[in-house]
Structure 1
Amino acid sequence: MILVDGLYSADGDFAPLDEITALAGEHDALVVVDEAHSFGAIGPNGLGVADHFGVLDRVHAVVGTMSKALGSVGGFVLTGKGLERELRYLAPSYTSSRGSAPGVAGASLASLQLVEEHGGDLRARLDHNVRFVIDGLTEAGLNLMRTTSHIVPVLVGDEHKTVAVSNWLMDHGIFVGTFVHPHVPSGEGRLRIGVTSTHTQAECALLVERLTEARNKFSL
């Protein structure tokens, strides 16, 4: 069995699922993909990185969440009948869980409907915002990691400096994720920027402006 993230949350890069599914085929292995950070945002149909690579038919189970792109609560597993039956009877995370509250289920269904009906436009706006932010930060001389997604990590390095920059940004109206050891390798602290389709051009420009100020202030 090969278990892999579709989109890695600390680096913003894709797993090469075209190569992974080919390898699994050679060794008769099951492929399980966690699309938590990619479902709704990646792929021609918004179904994640497996959709992006066109290998959904070679993935045996997709694990996802309602708490990222869909803005709700809960998770899901998409799989075939055989594995579904095993999970229903043997997975403690399912057998010991309870159903979603009606309001939560309604929010999830409404979000799924939005993805189905307007996902293409939302993803196009997301791609535009991502490109604007990456281009602006690159031009400003920030040390970006090789992201391929809406997760844009800025490498800082020292853990204490990473936290200090994050706190300074918060004080100046910008919230970013703070990743330090042990969540990332020691000495590779980073700021994780999460770009969305609803960010305005002015908000994206403000982000670039504040990070440029932080670069000068903290010698990033």
Structure 2
Amino acid sequence: MAVQVELAGTLKTGREEISEDPVLVAGMDASYGHSSAYAAIVIMGYPDLTFQSRVEARSPTRFPYVPGFFAFREIPALLEAYNLVGNPPGVLLVHGHGYSHPRRAGIAIHLGAFLGIPSIGVAGRPLPGIEVSEPGESRGAYSEIIMEEEVTGVFLRTQEDTRPVYISAGYRTTLTQAIRIALSCCRHSRFPEPIRLADRAAGRMRRRHERNILQGDQV
């Protein structure tokens, strides 16, 4: 908790915004098995969303799932995967929360600060205690997430007839930038395309590894 509080305090005095749109964006996500985390990162061009590359890594899970401390469980595997990235992205799209966090330091902020890359948090579910009203039905409609009388993010509808997602600024980004970039990456699905592809890749890797274990192959 102390690490998160210190990190959030630094960001409150030194938050910057992206000076120009990125050339590359990265979607980051992980899937979990019995004792391992399976991380995947998908790099795509921006704003055309052309596929550039995908990297994957598996890491033992050493931290239990505790709401509000997700970063400590998932970051080791994501960092292992990031070590395999060739051309660095200009923005990280992280499947998880950023500033919209009880201590204003979700996984998107941790990863961005650690790697020194602007980041955006995109989550499918709220953290405990977060209540927000339903936004309008049109694409791009949102309602504000307010924590302790501060707007920390938005509940954004990325497609019509689709459940909204939770968007918050991460490291060196503003909420306005986070909304714009995340929405522009949602071409046909609920989540930004880089995150959607990373989620699929991480799930495939987990299933493949677990199948190998069942067959007696520990590779």
What TM-score does the superposition give when structure 1 sets the normalisation length? 0.28
Greater relative contact order, per chain length (Cα 8 Å cut-off, separation 6+): 2
What TM-score does the superposition give when structure 2 sets the normalisation length? 0.28
Higher helix share: 1
Task: Work out which of the two has the higher radius of gyration on C-alpha atoms and give 1 or 2.
Answer: 1
